Copies of this chain bind each other. A is one copy, B any other.
Amino acid sequence: MCRLMLYLGPEARLSSLIVEPRHSLIRQSVHSEEREEPLNGDGFGIGWYASELSLEPAVFRSITPAWNNRNLQNLARVVTSDCVLAHVRAATQSSGVNEANCHPFRWRQYLCMHNGDVGDFRLVRRKLLASVCDEAFGNVYGSTDSEHFFALFIDSLLGLDERDPALRMAQALARAIDRVLALVGSAGEGGDSYMNIAISDGEHAVVSRFTDAADGVPESLYYFTGQLYPDIGPKAKRKGTQAVTVSSERLTADAGWAEVPPGQIIILRRDRAPQFVDARSGEVVAPPARAARHTAA
């Protein structure tokens, strides 16, 4: 089922985001608290943007667990970025542990990662691939449901005219979720889908929290508006924007963490507070009352 974390804000050091918090993602790789099975040891991945150097984000992925990976600890100490995605994986039996199956996945400037499952994926895979354009098809290198879903997202994005890039991503994500559910409905055997998906282009990000399971309870997902980490000096001030962190589990004991409402997509922009849209229709919804309270704090 995996755990994931996304950060958009002023430049921050990777270690402040993924190593140092009390319940950091690396900690969650060993001891996640909101999954039945606490272990996410089947590899990990980090993606980050260094926009002044390259529009294409960097990705560092490994099939060894995150908790004792020295390269990761080294990178985390010296890499800074204003947009970071990180993921620790719990592999399902059907898709092997190899680098092609580690999140985040990349296409052009976009990164995508997933916490969840596409229902009956083995039955759905073929129709899914047949339904997307060559560009999206050609970006599939491995065998995970997550990477195949990303192809649906790419295909949906390419078909949209929306000019606002954040809204376009959110609409494409909603459309892709809608399409995958339709595919599971027609080719699957009634399996539930869990679709906590995080996607960014380096300047904006969208993260869904969704399931079609009968009980309506998706995987956990939280967000925090504000700065979680120590100031790293002049660099951090380059962009006078707010920081937002979205994570499968609360990284700290701060009261400011709020749940992303079930069935919604949170939209992050550098210059304004998070916005919410419906995870299937893509239409804007009012911000959650509880979350509003926290962010106002």
Which residues of A in the span 93-125 have a Cβ within 8 Å of any Cβ on B?
95-101, 122, 125
Q: How far is the CA of A91 from the CA of B138 in the complex (A)?
A: 18
Task: Decide: A141 and B143 in contact? CB cutoff 8 A.
Answer: yes
Contact B99 A96 (CB under 8 A): yes
**In the assembled complex, which residues on chain B have CB atoms less than 8 Å from the CB atom of A53?**
13, 77-78, 80, 232
Tell me how many chains of this kind the complex includes. 4
Cβ distance A99 to chain B, nearest Cβ, rounded Å: 5
CA distance A48 to B74 in the complex (A): 10
Interface residues on A, range: 35 or more
Contact B42 A58 (CB under 8 A): no
Which residues of A come within 8 Å of B, CB atoms?
A: 13, 30, 39, 41-42, 48, 50, 52-54, 56-65, 67-71, 74-75, 77-80, 91, 95-101, 122, 125-126, 129-130, 134, 137-138, 140-143, 232-233, 235
Measured CB to CB, the closest approach of chain B to A141, in angstroms, equals 4
- Tell me if A96 and B42 are in contact (CB < 8 A): no
